[in-house]
């Protein structure tokens, strides 16, 4: 004899991909009818036009069909009422832990724009995910966000469960939030400091990040309101400085490095981007932007150079296509994986502190 308990047990294997919880625990299973060997189930999703409704329906049919004695399964997909949605949002927020209690925050910054800071942040996050960690990527460069384009998610919108509960976009194993996914890519945001820091607070407090090992935070360049606010509010964060070998870039980068030290945020290293160019035909190496300045900067900040990333056409091409080079086992991808491994050795995730790298 088929029982409701068997059906509920089967449905606990069916997950809402956006909420990453099973439909039973989410309270989406509204009705179960058993007529001989036929089972009918009503499942109400958060919104009527959920793009994943067919996936959830098919998974439910698949799991129920595994129950001995079941020969026919009917799954009706509906939508929650507004009251049910609000109740779900309340329950999810009650379960949400303080993001920064169990998450290592890696802040990536630069003194000036155009040095490849966002490219480094995105590929570092992807590489950390490839090492087996749960990783979030917060684009704090509100006025100049490039993360959506670098990850190929331009035009995608985060899902809002209610006006104070947002689910991050998921791509390449990352959970991502960026202002660039709330507005049109070419729309300028003409905002002053208080509005900008307010958005950062919302990204911290109203996004359902879940359990993360690392949160990589891409700062805007310079020493303005957002970098200062982030560092003051996250004194346990670790700071990575991105610069180029050029003297002017290095000296400007030093300002944000010294700012981090003044607010007691540890500078764990420097990434020298556009470090050199190696001719693919003759193999000759050219230091287009000079050399030696990053070593001086590392000495002044009492830190080390974590990586030297060359000028490689493939990195630019893949980035323009929204494909992070760190995804693949290529020479370019290996650079970012090696960087991620160094970061993990320096900043172990709290629940993996004594575990070896995968």
- Rounded Cα distance, 233 and 215, in Å: 14
The reply, when asked if residue 283 is annotated as ligand binding, is no
The reply, when asked if residue 66 is annotated as ligand binding, is no
Question: How crowded is residue 28: how many other Cβ atoms within 10 Å of its Cβ?
Answer: 26
Q: What is the CA radius of gyration of the chain?
A: 24
The reply, when asked if residue 78 is annotated as ligand binding, is no
The reply, when asked if residue 144 is annotated as ligand binding, is no
Distances (CA, A) of 70 to 39, 55, 63, 259, 293: 7, 21, 11, 66, 71
Tell which residue, 214, 216, 224, has the closest CA to residue 177: 216
The reply, when asked if residue 116 is annotated as ligand binding, is yes
The reply, when asked if residue 132 is annotated as ligand binding, is no
The reply, when asked if residue 113 is annotated as ligand binding, is yes
In this structure, which long-range contacts are made by residues 44-47, counting pairs with CB atoms below 8 Å and at least 24 apart in sequence?
Answer: 44/77, 44/78, 44/79, 44/80, 44/84, 45/16, 45/77, 45/78, 45/79, 45/80, 46/16, 46/18, 46/19, 46/79, 46/80, 46/85, 46/88, 46/161, 47/79, 47/80
Q: Given the structure tokens 């909420």, which residue do they identify?
A: 19
Report the binding-site residues for ATP: 111-118
Report the binding-site residues: 111-118
């Amino acid at each position: 004899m088929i029982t409701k308990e068997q059906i509920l047990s089967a449905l606990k294997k069916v997950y809402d991909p956006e909420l990453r919880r099973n439909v039973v625990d989410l309270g989406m299973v509204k009705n179960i009818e058993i007529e001989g060997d036929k089972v009918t189930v009503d499942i109400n999703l958060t919104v009527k036009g959920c793009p994943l409704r067919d996936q959830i329906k098919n998974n439910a049919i698949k799991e129920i069909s595994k129950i001995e004695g079941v020969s026919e399964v009917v799954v009706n997909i509906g939508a929650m009422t507004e009251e049910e949605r609000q109740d779900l949002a309340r329950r999810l927020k009650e379960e949400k832990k303080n993001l920064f209690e169990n998450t290592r925050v890696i802040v990536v910054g630069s003194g000036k724009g155009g040095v490849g800071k966002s490219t480094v942040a995105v590929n570092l996050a992807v590489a950390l995910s490839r090492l087996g960690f749960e990783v979030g990527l917060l684009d704090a460069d509100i006025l100049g966000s490039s993360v959506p384009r670098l990850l190929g998610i331009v035009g995608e919108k985060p899902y809002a469960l209610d006006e104070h509960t947002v689910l991050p976009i998921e791509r390449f194993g990352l959970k991502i939030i960026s202002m660039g996914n709330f507005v049109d890519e070419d729309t300028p945001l003409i905002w002053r400091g208080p509005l900008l820091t307010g958005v950062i607070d919302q990204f911290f407090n109203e996004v359902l990040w879940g359990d993360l090992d690392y949160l990589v935070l891409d700062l805007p360049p310079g020493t303005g309101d957002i970098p200062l606010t982030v560092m003051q509010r996250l004194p346990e964060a670790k700071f990575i400085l991105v610069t180029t070998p050029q003297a002017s870039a290095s000296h400007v980068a030093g300002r944000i490095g010294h700012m981090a030290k003044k607010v007691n945020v540890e500078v764990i290293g420097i990434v020298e981007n556009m470090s050199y160019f190696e001719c693919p035909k003759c193999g000759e190496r050219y230091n287009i932007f000079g050399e030696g300045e990053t070593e001086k900067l590392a000495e002044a900040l009492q830190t080390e150079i974590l990586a030297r990333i060359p000028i490689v056409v493939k990195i630019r091409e893949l980035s323009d296509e929204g494909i992070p080079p760190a995804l693949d086992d290529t020479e370019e991808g290996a650079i970012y994986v090696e960087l991620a491994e160094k970061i993990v050795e320096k900043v172990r995730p709290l629940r993996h502190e004594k575990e070896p790298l995968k």
